[in-house]
């Protein structure tokens, strides 16, 4: 009797496995190509889509089921293969990768199982409304005003702006559920999808009615090529192609824009925002010399479009920057311009290079404008976000997740905090280690099409300097060794000649990442700054000569990001100075 029940239980476990094996693998297919027609009707806040998508089975097992997801405010109308209707079940799927906090998921039975690496073409149709919706942010307790200035996507007669994955699933995707309440889960899922889709292509035709002769709205799409919309039979039509999506989030905007058109930038602004638009265009022109010096001449014209809500959070993707032009003063305009111009001048498929440099350019811009402390302050703001990421990571160490040192490294990461904030600090440190001329030359020799190995950038910089940078790239770029934590262990003074004091300073790094860190010795009426390399989990020793009795030593001026809050000041008592 006992044996039977045991065997029965054993079977239960087996059944469990069987169900699991046939459960949905939502991320089995990569959507390698989209060819879609969209009809946008602002007066109804509607969008209708039909066209073809190609799915490739990137899993290791044949797949008979495909999952297609769109925003929960859209409905599936038809899914066909080879002209034949396919059976599908449509169900809501809770996920915070869409602003509504939910997706309309179609579970499609394919005509036959698709083997690994094979593809299947599906003809699809769906439609529905896209209205202002802050459900997912309300779900994590964000106040209404904050939520709407973050999730500002909508279709309406006054203003239409719809961003893709991570905001509104207006084209089909297939992902596991992401929750904003669960730390980084929603961001991880968006990052994973972008990585899978980086080589995918997208062809879009977007049309909107143009019956009203008086109103001629402008349609902007952040595609690789997108000739200006033209009018055909009472319709505006834009024909846009994304050659490869890379990390671009397909986005379209429709508004009654007016334009400030300069050689370097086109600023699309809303009625009454003429002055702000000119301020921004001026800021762009002012930043050109600095950006050109560092990142070369512009490859493409920068494109900026106004957001109606003055509190709306800016968004950039591909060549397009969306931001409220009002309420953006000259200083913020300059910062945004430096970032946008860097993108227009320099491109890398690697986020830590592409975004890291655009943020580094902002620090350079501030340094150029108001000196080094202003740049360090700015990086300090980013660093607080970075420390938060590091703390979170430390908290996870008890229950390790799939990500290890290499997966969280700058070369591989899809975590924005890392490829923006941390990468910016890495570029700043590299600059101080090798000097401006060497880094500028290295950047000038960069060719995105030749960037096939993670070490490509290191080799380019190495070619311009005699320094060994392997350890630095290893600690900061190829692996995630966290941040350094410096402490001055000791500082001994010896009077050498009349009017000369020699200090021997030992600095330890309690963290696992090493860095070259500035060290300043202060004395009555002056100070001397030297730089010292301290490798992770070790000590560095340096001798510094000063003309008067030293009073204190300070390690790190904020140019090297650190974890922890170790005291960086070492006071030297007068009695410590040996005679
Ligand atoms: Zn950027």
Q: What is the 3-state secondary structure (H, E, C) of 12-34?
A: HHHHHHHHHHHCCCCCCEEEEEE
Residues 175 and 189: beta-carbon distance below 8 Å: yes
Ligand 1 centre distance from Cα of residue 337 (Å): 11
Ligand 1 centre distance from Cα of residue 498 (Å): 55
Which residue is it, tokens 């066909």? 80
Beta bridge partners of 132: none
pLDDT above 70 as % of the chain: 89
Report the C-alpha gap between 303 and 322 in whole angstroms: 9
3-state helix, strand, coil in the chain (%, to 5): 30, 30, 35
Helix (H, G, I), strand (E, B) or coil at 542: strand
Neighbour tally for 264: CB within 10 Å: 19
pLDDT above 70 (res 394): no
Which one is predicted more confidently, 113 or 246? 113
Report residue 387's pLDDT band, with 50, 70 and 90 as the boundaries. low
Handedness of CA 227, 231, 232, 237 (dihedral sign): positive
User: What mean pLDDT comes out for the span 165-192?
Assistant: 88
Q: What is the mean pLDDT of the chain?
A: 88
Report the C-alpha gap between 218 and 257 in whole angstroms: 6
User: What mean pLDDT comes out for the span 348-364?
Assistant: 94
**In this predicted structure, what is the pLDDT of residue 234?**
77
Neighbour tally for 309: CB within 10 Å: 15
pLDDT above 90 (res 578): no
Ligand 1 centre distance from Cα of residue 505 (Å): 40
Mark the residues whose beta carbon lies below 5 A from ion ligand 1: 355, 358
213-250 per-position pLDDT tens digit? 656 788 899 988 887 667 777 788 889 999 989 889 99
**In this predicted structure, what is the pLDDT of residue 402?**
41
Ligand 1 centre distance from Cα of residue 263 (Å): 21
**In this predicted structure, what is the pLDDT of residue 399?**
36
User: What mean pLDDT comes out for the span 356-364?
Assistant: 96
Smallest Cα–Cα separation from 479: which of 309, 317, 352?
352
101 Rama sector, left if φ>0, alpha if ψ -120 to 50, beta otherwise: left
Ligand 1 centre distance from Cα of residue 350 (Å): 12
Neighbour tally for 299: CB within 10 Å: 12
Report the C-alpha gap between 11 and 115 in whole angstroms: 30
Handedness of CA 171, 177, 26, 77 (dihedral sign): negative
**Extended beta strands in 143-229, E state:** 160-163, 201-209, 218-221
Report residue 186's pLDDT band, with 50, 70 and 90 as the boundaries. confident
User: What mean pLDDT comes out for the span 65-82?
Assistant: 97
């Amino acid at each position: 009797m006992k044996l039977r029940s045991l065997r029965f239980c054993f079977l239960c476990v087996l059944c469990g496995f069987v169900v699991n094996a046939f459960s949905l693998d939502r991320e089995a297919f990569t959507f390698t190509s989209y060819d879609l027609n969209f009809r946008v009707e602002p007066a109804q806040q509607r969008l209708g889509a039909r066209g073809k998508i190609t799915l490739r089975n990137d899993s290791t097992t044949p797949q008979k089921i495909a999952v297609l997801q769109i925003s929960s405010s859209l409905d599936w109308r038809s899914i066909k293969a080879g002209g034949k209707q396919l059976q599908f079940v449509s169900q809501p799927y809770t996920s915070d990768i869409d602003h509504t906090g939910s997706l309309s998921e179609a579970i499609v039975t394919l005509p036959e199982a698709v083997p690994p690496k094979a593809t299947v073409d599906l003809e699809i149709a769906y439609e529905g409304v896209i209205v202002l919706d802050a459900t997912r942010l309300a779900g994590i307790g964000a106040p209404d005003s904050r939520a709407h200035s973050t999730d500002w996507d909508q279709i309406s007669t006054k203003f239409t702006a719809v961003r893709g994955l991570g905001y509104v699933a207006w084209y089909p995707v297939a992902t596991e559920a992401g929750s904003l309440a669960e730390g980084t889960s929603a961001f991880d899922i968006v990052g994973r999808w972008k990585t899978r889709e980086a080589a995918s292509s997208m062809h879009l035709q977007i049309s909107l009615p143009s019956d009203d002769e008086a109103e001629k709205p402008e349609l902007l799409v952040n595609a690789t090529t997108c000739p200006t919309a033209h009018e055909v039979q009472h319709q505006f039509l834009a024909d846009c192609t994304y050659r490869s999506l890379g990390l671009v989030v397909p986005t379209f905007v429709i508004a009654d824009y007016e334009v400030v058109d300069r050689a370097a930038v086109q600023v699309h602004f809303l009625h009454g925002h003429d002055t702000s638009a000119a301020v921004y265009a001026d800021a762009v022109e002012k930043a050109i010399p600095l950006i050109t010096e560092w990142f070369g001449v512009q490859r493409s014209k920068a494109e900026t479009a106004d957001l109606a809500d003055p509190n709306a959070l800016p968004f950039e993707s591909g060549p397009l920057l969306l931001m409220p032009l009002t309420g953006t003063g000259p200083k913020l305009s300059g910062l945004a311009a430096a970032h946008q111009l860097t993108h227009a001048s320099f491109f890398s498929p690697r986020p830590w290079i592409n975004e890291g440099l655009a943020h580094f350019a902002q620090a350079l811009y501030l340094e150029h404008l108001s000196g080094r402390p202003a740049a360090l302050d700015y990086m300090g703001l980013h660093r607080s976000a970075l420390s938060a990421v590091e703390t979170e990571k430390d908290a996870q160490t008890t229950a390790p997740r799939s990500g290890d040192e290499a997966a969280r490294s700058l070369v591989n990461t899809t975590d924005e905090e890392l490829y923006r904030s941390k990468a910016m600090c890495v570029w700043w440190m590299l600059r101080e280690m090798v000097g401006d001329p060497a880094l500028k030359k290295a950047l000038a020799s960069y060719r995105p099409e030749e960037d096939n190995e993670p070490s490509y950038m290191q080799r380019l910089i190495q070619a311009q300097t005699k320094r060994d940078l392997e350890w630095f790239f290893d600690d900061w770029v190829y692996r995630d060794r966290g941040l350094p934590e410096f402490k001055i262990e000791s500082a001994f003074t010896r009077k050498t000649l009349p009017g000369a004091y020699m200090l021997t300073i030992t600095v330890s790094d309690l963290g696992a990442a090493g860095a070259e860190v500035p060290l300043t010795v202060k004395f009555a009426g002056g100070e001397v700054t030297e730089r010292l390399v301290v490798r992770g989990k070790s000590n560095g020793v340096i001798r510094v000569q000063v003309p008067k009795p030293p009073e204190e030593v300070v390690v790190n001026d904020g140019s090297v990001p650190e974890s922890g809050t170790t005291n960086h000041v070492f006071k030297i008592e007068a009695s410590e100075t040996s005679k």
